[in-house]
Amino acid sequence: MSTMNSMLTSSQRRTICSTLGRVKLQLLYKASIHGFTGAAFHQRCDTRCPTVSVGYNAAGYVFGGHTKQPFSQSGYYVNDDKAYLFTFSGEELLKYPVIKSKNAVRMIGNSGPYFGEDLVLVTGNKAVVYSTPGNYYNFDAAEMHGNDLNLTECEVYEVEGKPWRTITWKSEKRKELIESLKMYKPTDSSVSRIRVLLIGPVGAGKSSFFNSINSVFRGHVTSQAIAGCSYTSLTTQFRTYSLKAGREGKPLPIIFCDTMGLEESTGAGLDIDDICSILKGHLPDCYQFNASAPLHSESKGYLKSPVLKDRIHCVAYVTDACKVSIMPKKLEEKLNAVRRKINLMGIPQLVLLTKVDEACHLVSEDVSNVYKSGYIKEVMQEASARLGVPVSCVVPVKNYSEELEVNQNCDILLLSAVNQMLRFADNYFDELSDRLSDIEIELR
């Protein structure tokens, strides 16, 4: 791939990239090298996304299309409301947005990039353009390609995002994050270990997140907390999980509190009143949840006078990156109700965006691409809007689910999330200290 030379000029590449954000173009397919055939195109481009496809003709026209959908040979149309066709007029890029997004791209096996029924680069295994404007894109054929339908070249580029968050993917960074967690001490001396409450829908990965963090310190994948796939919550008790710095190591200064999953239907899943009791520190470990009967002061093990070390110091909403856009309205309303109660208590909140590798092909190939993925950034922005927290409080992670051994980049992402939790807990203690100082000043 590195030996292929792009026919796009530097100016043209910059112009295309400027319309897509902080990205670069990686050449995947060049017809003059790989062949003007559908098979050659699909072999190198299937499953890759987003992409920019470019055609060149003898008349000097440079034109093509962009889609965020991965190519395949299914024969079906795919929906893409961000798809567009383009041509260059001098150094200016003229864009023709899709007008019927559900028919934006068609996946045909014996042809190259196939945009609706309007523009096809490499048609039926020939170096020929198919052009019939007005079906799903509106463009002027003379303006687009000068009515020269013979291709001299066809190129397909994968759009790779430049990192929009800075993170170091080196073993030294992993060691630094581990040591930082081992040495951490809460800013309030009455608390030896911060308590983080994990809240989220059934199957989002709350228990898996604890197991994954535990795996980092054990050096292999563990499964202490019950995790798996189910329509109803596999966690039926309130559980507190401590971490150790290795099998025989010292306890680490953080406790993860796991709960039943939130469910959209009334009377199912975790009750909002129980969440308030957890936040205030009333719930005992191993309390058995009962959706029809919230915890009350006479319940067995109820802590009537919890102190600061018993309370929750940070809340993490655990959300599946693949399901953010299809979150049921009732579940979103329940999460917002929970968030409002937590806001009133002044407890800092963040979002753990799980399964980012399943949501994005680029991240699936390499977890270190997570902050290069424009799609993951869009999902994080949507999660921010739906859950009412700033994007800076949304942290992507990949839990260990299929692996047997740990991976450096997964560890760094997981440890970075824990590091944010420590910072947020310190913010909570600082806020409490400031309030106490204000009260003492008023009493003088």
Q: For residue 339, give the CATH number of its domain.
A: 3.40.50.300
Name the token pair of 310. 């018993």
- How confident is the model at residue 236, as a pLDDT? 66
Q: Are 104 and 192 in a shared domain?
A: no
Domain count within the chain: 2
Kindly state whether residues 216 and 249 are assigned to the same domain.
Answer: yes
Task: Report whether pLDDT(206) > 50.
Answer: yes
Last residue of a domain, one of 161, 194, 218: 161
**Any domain includes 418:** yes
User: Which tens digits make up the pLDDT trace of 259-295?
Assistant: 877 776 665 556 777 788 889 998 877 777 665 566 6
- Asked if residue 5 is part of any domain, the answer here is no
pLDDT at 231 over 50: no
What is the sign of the dihedral through the CA atoms of 352, 358, 359 and 361? positive
Give the domain-ending residue among 98, 133, 161.
161
The residue-averaged pLDDT of 24-29 equals: 94
**Measuring CA to CA, which residue among 337, 340, 349 is closest to residue 427?**
349
Residue-level pLDDT at 438: 58
Answer yes or no: is 166 within a domain: no
Task: Print the domain residue range for 233.
Answer: 171-443
Is 80 exceeded by the pLDDT of residue 400?
yes
Instruction: Let me know if residue 213 belongs to a domain.
Output: yes
Q: Is the pLDDT of residue 78 over 90?
A: yes
Same domain for 179 and 157, yes or no, is no
Indicate whether 97 belongs to any domain: yes
- Give me the sheet containing 126-131, strands edge to edge: 114-115, 119-123, 126-131
| 98 band by pLDDT with thresholds 50, 70 and 90 | very high
Same domain, 87 and 188: no
For residues 84-96, average pLDDT:
95
222 or 216: which leads in pLDDT: 216
Residue 2 falls within a domain, yes or no? no
> Taking residues 136-160, what's their average pLDDT?
96
pLDDT classification of 232: cutoffs 50, 70, 90: very low
Q: How large a percentage of the chain has pLDDT more than 70?
A: 91
CB-CB neighbours of 119 under 10 Å: 28
How many residues are given for the chain? 444
Pair 66, 86: CB distance under 8 Å: yes
Same domain, 319 and 255: yes
The angle at the Cα of 366, spanning 360 to 367, to the nearest 5 degrees, equals 75
Give domain status of residue 92, yes or no. yes
| Lowest mean per-residue pLDDT among 168-182, 220-234, 330-344 | 220-234
Q: Are both 269 and 410 inside the same structural domain?
A: yes
Q: What is the DSSP string of 161-229?
A: EPPSS----SHHHHHHHHHHHHH---SSTT-SSEEEEEE-BTTSSHHHHHHHHHHHHHTS----S----
Instruction: Report the distance separating Cα 391 and Cα 368, nearest Å.
Output: 19
18 and 133 both lie in a single domain: yes
| Identity at 418, one-letter amino acid code | V
Residue 130's pLDDT band (cuts 50, 70, 90) = very high
Q: Rounded to an integer, what distance in angstroms lies between the CA atom of residue 363 and that of residue 155?
A: 24
For 326, the 3-state DSSP assignment is helix
| Residue 43 maps to a domain | yes
301 or 165, which is more confident: 165
pLDDT at 286: 75
Are residues 192 and 90 both part of a single domain? Answer: no
Tens-digit pLDDT profile for residues 349-384: 999 999 999 988 778 888 998 998 878 988 999 999
pLDDT at 164: 85
Q: What is the pLDDT of residue 420?
A: 97
Share of the chain above pLDDT 90, in %: 66
Residues 338 and 358 in one domain: yes
Does residue 145 contact residue 131 with C-beta atoms inside 8 Å? yes
In this structure, are 24 and 130 located in the same domain? yes
Q: Tell me, yes or no, whether 179 and 290 share the same domain.
A: yes
Mean pLDDT of 7-33: 91
145 or 20: which leads in pLDDT: 145
Of 104, 130, 161, the position where a domain reaches its end is 161
Contact between 40 and 111 (Cβ < 8 Å): no
Q: For 413-443, write each residue's pLDDT tens digit.
A: 999 999 999 999 999 999 988 777 655 555 4
Q: Give 75's strand partners.
A: none
**Residue 290 has what pLDDT?**
63
pLDDT-based confidence at 331, cuts 50/70/90? confident
User: How many helices (H) does the chain have, and how many strands (E)?
Assistant: 12, 18
Do 194 and 259 lie in one domain? The reply is yes
